[in-house]
Structure 1
Amino acid sequence: MRARTKARKRALDILFESEARGDDPLEVLRNRRETDDAPPVSDYAALLVQGVVEHRERIDQLLAEHAEGWTVARMPAVDRTLLRIGVFELLWVDEIDDPVAITEAVELARTLSTDDSPRFLNGVLGRIADIAEHLRATR
């Protein structure tokens, strides 16, 4: 598994855990960086967690607008978290190409979520990627 793929998985773990427990994701991140010995939390994983937290309101707004027939609250937790990471990468991480952000989210969904999740994530992230240039210009 490539380094950034591992970082995405680690960010997913931290964000998912914090949501499931009702904990502050930044506190969970800090605790993992200070106490976990394996797997380590890379700088990129930390960037993803911090970015999702910082932009969560806007990310969730975009998900609500582009996830046809789904509210953010009704989405499976893994899918919701992967979508948040994917949207953050699409709009705020300039060194990641849009197709890479989408593919990585879809591949993680393929191994960690339901059979329908990869298609769902691909559709939502694809719709957002179609307008990403406009969204980046207005952020």
Structure 2
Amino acid sequence: MPARSRARKRAVDILYEADQRSGASTADDRPVTPASVLAERLLHPGAQTAVPGYAVEIVEGVVAHTERIDEVLATFSQGWTLDRMPAVDRAILRMGAWEVLYNHDVDDAVAIDEAVTLAKELSTDSSPDFVNGLLGRISDLGSALVE
């Protein structure tokens, strides 16, 4: 698996973990957020290898733009609220939306393909089509969606 693909998978893992633990608190009573999970993984990677730099960039980018990313996803996910989506799909879509909207070093088609591949590996049978359609629509509108 190429390095950027591994980094994307790791970023999705961190975003997913934060989503799943969002009602909990850290040891010092701060709420669990993607930033706090990332900080934990950077200090204590556990059985995994160190967090790749591009995974850090993705998570930090998603954190910096979460409000707008979630607004865009909610606007264009016809018939699906963010809360109704599987948590892994939310993590994949947040990563993909950040790459499409904010990371101009990655071609939109590559970002979408990588997100679809992760949806195939990690989620339901219908998730790849959903991820492809939603990120494709976001890509079509592109810079008009970035405030």
Do both proteins adopt the same fold according to a TM-score greater than 0.5, normalized to the shorter chain? yes
Greater helix proportion: 1
1:135: how far off? 2.7
Structure 1 unaligned regions, length at least 5: none
Alpha-carbon distance in structure 2 between the residues aligned to 1:115 and 1:107? 12
- Once the two structures are superposed, the pairs formed by residues 44-123 of structure 1 within 5 Å of their partners are 44-123=54-133
Alpha-carbon distance in structure 2 between the residues aligned to 1:122 and 1:19? 21
Find the counterpart in structure 2 of residue 6 from structure 1.
6
Count of matched residue positions in the alignment of Structure 1 and Structure 2? 137
**Matched residue SS, 2:104:** coil
Find the counterpart in structure 2 of residue 36 from structure 1.
45
Provide the TM-score with structure 1 as the length reference: 0.94
**Matched residue SS, 2:125:** coil
1:16: how far off? 0.7
1:133: how far off? 3.2
Alpha-carbon distance in structure 1 between the residues aligned to 2:33 and 2:123? 23
Per-residue Cα deviation, 1:15-67 (whole angstroms, up to 9, x for no partner): 11111112121111111111115222011100111111111110011011111
Computed over aligned residues only, the root mean square deviation of the Cα atoms, in angstroms, reads 1.0
Structure 2 unaligned regions, length at least 5: 23-31
Alpha-carbon distance in structure 1 between the residues aligned to 2:137 and 2:86? 19
Q: Which amino acid aligns with 1:27?
A: S
Contact 2:11 2:59 in 1 (8 A): yes
**Identity of counterpart residues, as a percentage?**
52
Alpha-carbon distance in structure 2 between the residues aligned to 1:135 and 1:62? 7
Structure 1 runs of 4+ off > 6 angstroms? none
Provide the TM-score with structure 2 as the length reference: 0.89
